[in-house]
Amino acid sequence: MPKVSDQHRASRRDQITAAALACFAEKGFQRTSMADIIAASGLSAGAIYLHFESKQQIALAVGRQVLGRRLGDLDELSGGELPDPISMLRVILARMVDDMVDSRMLLQLWGEATSDPEMSALVGEIFGLLRDGFTRYLTAWATQRGADDPAEWADRALPAVLALAQGFMVQRALLPVFDVDAYFDGVRLVAGPGFDTPGV
């Protein structure tokens, strides 16, 4: 029997996660079944279950994919003079929206995490990776800006940065009209001097 290459396995996983994303966007996470994902992928049930045991595992794989690209973006932004945290968020969130097809899926997964222990663990893992990436960026940015204790400033700023990212996704998903420019203008209006002068 011929050996399946890593590239082939990765391609199959991408095919499955793309089908799952389309199903989640159309029907919502809760109403999407593995049968829906199998049908949308064009693969057999055996081929799907060879890679994933459940739709929760597929959702985690999607999250890791999207987050992996965004963490790569953070590293890319860190290559020279760093943008301020609000500008960084605008870039990262725009690219995340492009990846997600329908960002309402995030709210559905967060909602599931409040009552499903398995989903709570999966979402917690994704947020842990995101926190680590943002903390590295914030520490590097505070270092560039001459903060007395960059790591301490990053720890203090992190909850607000995460809240701004979550707020963006929530408003984009729920409001009939969402103005990205107005959102970030408002963020800058209330952010205060700390994002410009971390030593403050």
Condensed to tens digits (0 to 9), the pLDDT of residues 51-81 reads 998 888 888 887 777 777 777 777 776 667 8
Q: What is the reported pLDDT for 97? A: 80
Cα separation, 187 vs 46, in Å, equals: 48
Q: What is the reported pLDDT for 150? A: 92
Q: What is the reported pLDDT for 18? A: 86
Given a cut of 90, is residue 36 above it in pLDDT? yes
Q: Look up the pTM and report it.
A: 0.79
Cα separation, 158 vs 140, in Å, equals: 13
Confidence of residue 196 (pLDDT cuts 50, 70, 90): low
For the domain that residue 64 is a member of, what is the CATH number? Answer: 1.10.357
Q: Cβ(29)–Cβ(105) under 8 Å?
A: yes
Q: What is the reported pLDDT for 1? A: 45
Condensed to tens digits (0 to 9), the pLDDT of residues 127-178 reads 888 898 899 889 988 998 888 999 999 999 999 999 999 999 899 988 889 9
Residue 186: inside a domain: yes
Residue 29: inside a domain: no
Residue 34: inside a domain: no
- Any residues with CB less than 8 A from the CB of 200 and at least 6 apart, and which? 193, 194
Residue 64: inside a domain: yes
Q: How many residues are given for the chain?
A: 200
Residue 94: inside a domain: yes
Number of domains, the chain = 1
Residue 6: inside a domain: no
Provide the H-helix boundaries in 32-149: 34-41, 45-51, 55-77, 85-100, 104-113, 117-144
Structure tokens at 92: 């990262």
- 107 or 195, which is more confident: 107
Q: Which domain holds residue 131?
A: 55-193
Condensed to tens digits (0 to 9), the pLDDT of residues 75-133 reads 776 667 888 899 889 988 888 887 766 677 778 788 888 888 888 888 888 888 889 88
